[in-house]
Amino acid sequence: MAGNIEAAKKSDIDKWPPLEKTPYHVGIIMDGNGRWAKSKRLPRAAGHKQGAENLRQILESSVDFGIKILTIYAFSTENWNRPKAEVRGLMNLFDYYFGRELNELHKNGVQLRHIGQMAGIKPGMQDKIRRAVEETRNNQRLILNVAFNYGGRAEIVNAVRAIIKDGVLPEQVTDDLISQYLYTGGLPDPDLIIRTSGEFRISNFLIWQSAYAEYYITPTYWPNFNKDALYKALKAYSERNRRYGRVDQD
């Protein structure tokens, strides 16, 4: 048995050799559920279900590859504008997965956080989210930020309101202070943002935090985005040269 595990690990290393640098914080815009379903002549809801299922392997793979913070875009403030039936289906799906997966996440040392507005989410679900966050708050293996009812602009508006409410003086307003007031306050900025399904836009995701993030876009639809696809994204990241406006040192 132990031999088998070792053999499995060895083949993993052959398949996904360790990379020179790994992003600490990865954001994923999980896009393309609808087109995945359409390509299979299935209803959009089937795509969302498959997308939710896919998350489990990406979470596990993220831990395997040494990612410490994963921020996933699950539902945007603009997604409320979709047909009522689709929104209802998505809400039911989140509700179901939240309940079903929570124990598993907790067992696996995942610290769950919510980023986004609570207002607008059904009260029962708000409670569930709060409880899940509370229950997993000491877990250290992976921080999973779920961007749910999230919009980058709304986040900044909230931060500005809170800053004013707290009576902060103009000269006290700095980059760091604004970062602290965002939903991600206290966490480092994302190093890599992955978008599936080939769209070249950020759709209001982490607009402040990703000022110097690397972007990686793949045509693969989210339900098909597997461990190999994640490794490819990480490999591309490891080959990037982040200059932050400076000049390379030879």
Cβ closest to ligand IPE, residue 203 vs residue 238: 203
Closest to Mg ion by CB, 16 or 75? 75
Q: Which residue out of 4, 12, 31, 108 is catalytically annotated?
A: 31
Q: Does 191 contact Mg ion by CB under 5 A?
A: no
Task: Pick the binder of ligand IPE from 74, 144, 193, 230 (CB under 6 A).
Answer: 74
Q: Which does 240 bind (CB under 5 to 8 A by kind): Mg ion, ligand IPE, none?
A: none
The answer to whether 90 touches 115, Cβ cutoff 8 Å, is no
Q: Is 138 a catalytic site residue?
A: no
Tell whether residue 34 is a contact of ligand IPE (CB under 6 A).
yes
The answer to the question of residue 145 lying near ligand IPE (CB under 6 A) is: no
- Look at residues 139, 167, 165, 13 and name the one whose alpha carbon lies nearest to residue 69: 139
The strand pair at 214-217 and 192-195 is best described as parallel
The least CB distance from residue 202 to ligand IPE, in Å, is 8
Q: Residue 66 carries which side chain, given as an amino acid letter?
A: G
Is 64 a known active-site residue? Answer: no
Amino acid making up residue 177: L
Site for Mg ion in 4-63 (CB under 5 A): 31
> Quick one: tokens of 151?
């919009």
Distances (CA, A) of 156 to 66, 96, 180, 182, 215: 30, 30, 11, 7, 21
Which residues make Cβ contacts (< 8 Å) with residue 13, sequence separation at least 6? none
Q: How many angstroms separate the CA atoms of 103 and 136, rounded? A: 10
By CB under 6 A, tell whether 30 contacts ligand IPE.
yes
15 contributes a contact to ligand IPE by CB under 6 A: no
Q: Which stretch binds ligand IPE (CB under 6 A): 58-66, 123-131, 195-203, 233-241?
A: 195-203
Among the listed residues 94, 165, 159, 160, the one whose alpha carbon sits nearest the alpha carbon of residue 125: 94
Contacts made by residues 125-128, CB under 8 angstroms, sequence distance 24+: 125/91, 125/94, 125/95, 125/98, 128/95, 128/98, 128/99
Q: Are 164 and 189 in contact (CB under 8 A)?
A: no
Task: Point out the residue whose Cβ comes nearest to ligand IPE.
Answer: 34
Phi-psi region of 206 (alpha: psi -120 to 50; beta: other; left: phi over 0): left
Q: How far is the CB of 36 from ligand IPE (least distance, A)?
A: 7
Of 23, 26, 27, 33, which one interacts with ligand IPE (CB under 6 A)? 33
Q: Select from 69-77, 159-167, 224-232, 240-248 the region that touches ligand IPE (CB under 6 A).
A: 69-77
Pick the piece of the chain touching ligand IPE (CB under 6 A) from 58-66, 71-79, 158-166, 212-220: 71-79
53 binds ligand IPE (CB under 6 A): no
Residues of this chain that interact with ligand IPE (CB under 6 A) are 29-35, 73-76, 79, 90, 197, 199, 201, 203
Q: Which residues are the active-site residues?
A: 31, 79
